[in-house]
Amino acid sequence: MNILRPLSPHLPIYKPQLTSTFPIYHRISGAFLATIVLFFYLICLKIGLICLTYENVYQFFFYSSKLILISVEITALALSYHLYNGVRHLLTDFSGFGRKRLK
């Protein structure tokens, strides 16, 4: 007789808490920001600053302006989330906020 039971029955009833999802999103936003910084660093190494004097570079920025605006907005959102979550984390750790006090 073969009974079909789930391997881990506690997973379907698990409700994620905010305190467990904040560190995950903090790491994701940090990895995204590090990737952006590395990408721009490699671009500057590859093409150098002399390319900003060429007309084609400005034409490329003009025609891809919507893509650049979207990427800047996503980067600003990730930066602000990463900054505010880091400040919240520091305040929680060093001020005692969020801890249970012993009587």
CB atoms near residue 13 (< 10 Å): 6
26 is in an annotated binding site: no
Cα separations (Å) of 86 from 23, 31, 91?
10, 14, 9
Report residue 15 CA to chain centroid gap: 23
Tokens of 1: 């007789």
Tokens of 71: 């990427």
Name the binding residues for heme: 82
Name the binding residues: 82
